[in-house]
Each structure stands twice: as structure tokens, then as C-alpha cells.
Structure 1
């Protein structure tokens, strides 16, 4: 495995992107989201070690909080959640969904999510269960964890 060089610069740029004006998303009254999402660890660097994975998770949480703050003025119902895939960090994402003209799929409901699951080790001290709902979804070959605020947006 090739050594991950330039970590300091990589994470500095990641945090700059995460805390900047969130992706110039259209939050006006005419705006809508049809499962819009972003992957902050697109290349899967978090698969190389827990420390790198957790730094990406912190960035996802920061982005979630920024988007949640912006969506508070959206004026429409919305769903906002994070998904962390245990086996592949490149699939971790933050997703926004709202009523939209493209499909009649709001609110999105994912069946067979266990909302009473234990928090996985890689999220343990990053997720406060008083503020967040944590759900586990088992796919054929992966385990996904959905994280959603207890206070904002429509629940999955």
C-alpha cells in the first residue's frame, strides 16, 4: 500500500471546503433536493486507518451541522442525514432530500433500519445519543449506519 503523503494539506483543504459556504446549494423558496449528496472521502483514504476515517467523520458532522443551519431557513420540509458504510469509507455521505418535481418520493423511508442498534466503534465518542438518532441497515455485503439529528428535519 502506498503511503498517504500530504495529509496535513489534504485535511486543511477538506476542512476549508467543509466550513466554507456549503456548496452554493439553492436554499431559496423554489429550490428542492432529490437525494442530493456528497462524499467527503471520495477516494476512500479512511479505509487505510481509523484515525483518518474518524477525521473524515468529523468533517461529515461539521458539514451536516452547516447544512442543517442553512436548511433552517429553507421554508419547506426536508430530510437531512449522514450515512457511514462500515466496509468502505468512500461511500460515506451527507444527503439532503425534499419534495421535488423529479419524483414523488418524499419523505423517503428506508425499511428494515434498526434504530435501536449499538453505536459502532468508529463512531463511539463522536455521536452523542441525546442529539442524534443512529440506525443500522444491513445490505447484502455492507453495513450502513444512518445518523440523523433528533431535532431537525423529517425523520427517515
Structure 2
């Protein structure tokens, strides 16, 4: 199966599929693009309203809009089975350089929202705190991203064996 970029992607010079956050349980990027019919059933059914179209018209998740509760509704309405029931997700949160805490401004909004306790602040002698996102505890739900006033939470994909604590 070969990848055929959409016209818009081709004209913008994007010839390979980037790591777009698809709904939990989505097939591999090429299989997803080939199987998804762009019917919008998952977008309409998502109770959290966090699934949108990407530039190619395929469903993508935007955790800045809200958190994923892993309810599985997107998979249950996907007739072509581009999204299957998921037992986990390989996306993990990490802070970006625009994190208010990293700028010397006290903010712990992300920690307050994280039910998994994957975000920790370690007090330092200078009165500041170092922020740590624990990839082993993080489930990638996005509660921290949706709440962050600076929009300073990014997500990266991990493989099951590549999941260690990532300090800032």
C-alpha cells in the first residue's frame, strides 16, 4: 500500500504523513488514511467534542479543546473500522518552553487537572519548582493541555518500551 498525499498536502510540500493525533484505537497512519471514509461519524459522536478534521479531511484529536475520556464512542460509530476499541493510547504529555512555571511564574494548573498524578513539581532552593511529566503514569488524556492557560502542553508518541520519566 503506497501513500498518496492529498492535493493540498502535495502543494504544500508535505509528502509524508506526520504524527497527527488520531482518535484512540485508530489504525496505523497509512491504514487509517486508506480505511477512513471521512464520514464524520466520530466527529459528530464525540461527547467531548475534541475530534476535528485535519488538512486532509481526516479525523484528528485536539486536546487543547478538552480531555479525552476514552469512552470509545468514536470506535463504536466507525463503520469502516478505521478506529477500533482501544486498550491504551501511545500519546504522552510534555511541557513546552512557554510553560509559565519555566518562565518563573507560579502555575500548577496542569498538576491540579491530572487525575493520574503524572505531573509533579519539585521545590528548589531558589523558591521555584521543577516540573516533571512522568510518561509511565501519563495516559495522554489531555486534561492538563485543555486547562493550561499558556497552551504549553505538547504531546509526543511513545512505544510501549520507551516510557520513562522526562524532566523539563
Same fold (TM over 0.5): no
Q: Report the TM-score, using the length of structure 2 for normalisation.
A: 0.26
Q: Report the TM-score, using the length of structure 1 for normalisation.
A: 0.27
Larger relative helix fraction? 1
